[in-house]
Structure 1
């Protein structure tokens, strides 16, 4: 299959690239900084902004092969990894990028869109442990959550065949490829403080969802099995 990747230079996105290419798929990645992701066999890299429809369309048409699906792993940025660091990206960065992607994809006859969200967004908020809710509400993580909430609401109004994947707390040990356990959109009251999702396992799961056409127009929570 042939994919459009948005967010390919992020910690999850880089692993999605590696997983796709290892499986023999091809992709076009739209990135803002070409130095962060060199082109390689099976991967075409286009410079541009996910907020500019013309740039997204340039990536969609960059190769003769038609895009089958888009994997969206963009996230908001803070000035540092500290949860108290100032937000760098604008308030609707994710929501606007998701809308631009949906419009550009549909304009080219492509409907499949797999989006990485977060546990706590939308109807999963009440299912989070209270400590997690306090942390997300007290720190500047709340700005990212607010943006994810807008995506959660607005993507449902598009005609795309979207899937929202909400991982629990991410772990960045890339050597650990865990299997993902799938919960419903609310977490079924089963989310715990000890839950985590290793990014390598998450990346493989995102590729699986996109390749196999799973959970179309559904929202799911995932964690390490």
Structure 2
């Protein structure tokens, strides 16, 4: 199972700049992030070891075609704040199909271009 989430939800919140955290906390988008966080917390607890899962924290989406995807751990910085929709979709399908050889099994990953 590969789940798309947004950068700033769940454990990825720690790598956001302070201004983004303020924006996510004190605007209407805070309601969306509460839902994102709820989905994130359900994955590990409900899937455990019975289901291969990956949570992809995507940065801002754009429409520029397929570009190589970079992945980052939850404590890593250096990601760009955009990823193309096509790149993200292809990466998610590859992970779901096992093309990543288990590199992202039962992990949360930040994805960007």
Q: 2:61 aligns with which of 146, 170, 174?
A: 170
C-alpha deviation, 1:223, in angstroms: 0.5
Q: Distance in 2 between matches of 1:177 and 1:189?
A: 22
TM-score (norm 1): 0.44
RMSD: 1.7
Q: 2:24 aligns with which of 130, 136, 141?
A: 136
Larger RCO, structure (CA 8 Å, separation 6 or more): 2
- Alignment of 1:208 with 2:94, yes or no, is yes
| Larger Rg over CA atoms | 1
List runs of 5+ in structure 2 lacking aligned partners.
none
Count of residues in Structure 1 that have an aligned counterpart in Structure 2: 107
TM-score (norm 2): 0.84
C-alpha deviation, 1:165, in angstroms: 0.5
Q: Runs of at least 4 residues of structure 1 off by over 6 A?
A: none
Q: Distance in 2 between matches of 1:200 and 1:189?
A: 23
Q: Is the 8 A contact 1:164 1:219 kept in 2?
A: yes
3-state SS of 1:116 partner: strand
Equivalent residue for 1:56?
A: none
Q: Is the 8 A contact 1:127 1:190 kept in 2?
A: no
